[in-house]
Structure 1
Amino acid sequence: MEAEGKSSWGWLTQGRLALLIIFLVLVIDQWIKIAVKTHMYLHESIRVTDWFYILFTENPGMAFGWEFFDKLFLTSFRIIAVVVIAYLLYRSIRKGVPTGFVVCLSLVLAGAAGNIIDCVFYGLIFNNPPVPFTAHFVPFGTGYESLFHGRVVDMFYFPIIDTYWPEWMPWVGGEHFIFFSPIFNFADAAISCGIIALLIFYHKRISQ
């Protein structure tokens, strides 16, 4: 059984493991986003299977395309959240928590940071071409938006169930039903996996 505060490999401390996870998530997330943004036009869709599409969308809001708040407020909130999570991660490592807890926090931190990069910088370094043209890099500061107002790139779409409600059903009869309809990115997936794992395996520690 793994002791608290110890990783599975002697050379790979919890701090190094956290940095490695954050680095890998950021690199993969940004590579996917840049590849999609520079090789697909907005709203272009590539069918992988009947239930999985690469669908290029951009959103100024929260994860999975949800929009509730002003863009500047949301970006500022994200930055504050990343600082808080980073502090919690640092404190957790110093306290010698289980390595799994460190992995979960690292995933959440990396995912949040990945979307912040879009919000802060993408508006400064990419143009905003009309459909069906693809975006490309531009000189820093000459992009489609100002600092903190960039749009988050989303691309993963899993319409696992795509059907219509039976006509006889009250209120929703005949209406189109899709599960799972949100479009998300690799950073969103990292955040979700980290949070779900924390709630399942470390809910007692969180409550403390």
Structure 2
Amino acid sequence: MKKYIAVIFIILLIDQISKIYVKTHFFLGEDLPILGLDWARIQFVENNGMAWGTEFGGKTGKLFLTLFRLVAIFGIGYWLWSSVKKHAPKLLLFAIALIFAGAMGNIIDSVFYGLLFDASDPRTGNLAVLFAENNYEGLFYGKVVDMFYFPIIKNGMFPTWIPFVGGDTFTFFNAIFNVADFAISCGVGILIVFNKRVFPKEEWENTSEERAADKSLLQKLFG
């Protein structure tokens, strides 16, 4: 378990350092190229925590989302702990650790950032300040900090023969994300790409004493 806790700690550390640096050194909406590359940029944006910056239900929706994520993180933590106890494949444990770290990283923003920072206001030239007296929101209402932007294709155009979107322009890749998002994506990607390795067939066969006992109980109950 210790090695996976170390993975979680390292990801959380990198995630929070990068978020705090960007939040206290960039104005909201400011962006800079990475190594002079136009398709690789640091762009400071904030959102309420849903994918692609989606929002719903105002403050009530935000509170519900944060509380749901807190419940979910306990579920992921239990999944990791129980998988370690069952001696699950190491690749599965690594994937769960990535997902846990990513989810925890964004939960920290959602729960605490509203209390820890004041607002970044480019109109007044004020950068966000850590441990500010005038925090921008209350507990559970913080916004998630995103910063990595890789618009590899700008102003691309869909072929005219494609229904509905033919002739429209598009940007690929237009999502702005953070280290936590990247960790979650990698963890889920491992589960999908290496599905047979992380969930071997024998994992689901009734070969252990525990599964045999479960099978016996079901037979007694249902014949």
TM-score category by the smaller chain? 0.7 to 0.9
Tell me the number of residue pairs that the alignment of Structure 1 and Structure 2 aligns.
193
Given the superposition, is the C-alpha separation of residues 206 and 195 from structure 1 closer, same or farther in structure 2, using an over 3 Å criterion? farther
Are residue 33 (structure 1) and residue 19 (structure 2) matched? yes
Displacement, 1:199?
Answer: 1.5
Aligned match of 1:21:
7
RMSD: 2.0
Which residue, out of 151, 173, 181, partners 1:188?
181
Unaligned runs of 5+ in 2: 205-223
2:31 corresponds to which residue? 45
Q: Deviations over 1:49-99 (max 9, x none)?
A: 121110100001313423346100110111111000000100000000111
Q: Name the residue aligned to 1:198.
A: 191
Share of identical aligned residues, percent?
A: 47
2:112 to 110, 116, 121: 121
After superposition, the Cα gap between the structure-2 partners of 1:41 and 1:16, relative to the gap in structure 1 and judged at 3 Å, is same
**Rg larger in structure:** 2
Distance 2:136 2:149 in 1: 25
Q: Does 1:172 align with 2:165?
A: yes
SS at match of 1:41: coil
Tell me which amino acid in the other structure corresponds to 2:199: R
Mapped to 2, the partners of 1:45 and 1:202 lie a distance apart of 38
Q: When the two structures are superposed, what TM-score results if normalisation uses the length of structure 2?
A: 0.80
Where structure 1 has 5 or more consecutive residues not aligned to the other structure, the ranges are 1-14
Q: 1:103 to 1:168 in 2, by over 3 A?
A: closer
2:49 aligns with: 61
| Residues 156, 97 of structure 1: alpha-carbon distance in 2 compared, 3 angstrom cutoff | same
Going from structure 1 to structure 2, the CA distance change for 1:195 and 1:174 (only over 3 Å counts) comes to same
Contact 2:8 2:97 in 1 (8 A): yes
Q: How does 1:32-181 map to 2 (within 5 A)?
A: 32-48=18-34, 49-68=37-56, 70-131=61-122, 132-139=125-132, 142-165=134-157, 168-169=160-161, 171-181=164-174
Do the aligned residues in 2 keep the contact of 1:65 with 1:182 (CA within 8 Å)?
Answer: no
**Cα distance change, pair 100–78 in 1 and its aligned pair in 2 (3 A):** same
The residue identity in structure 1 corresponding to 2:30 is E
Contact 2:33 2:42 in 1 (8 A): yes
Aligned-residue offset at 1:167: 7.8
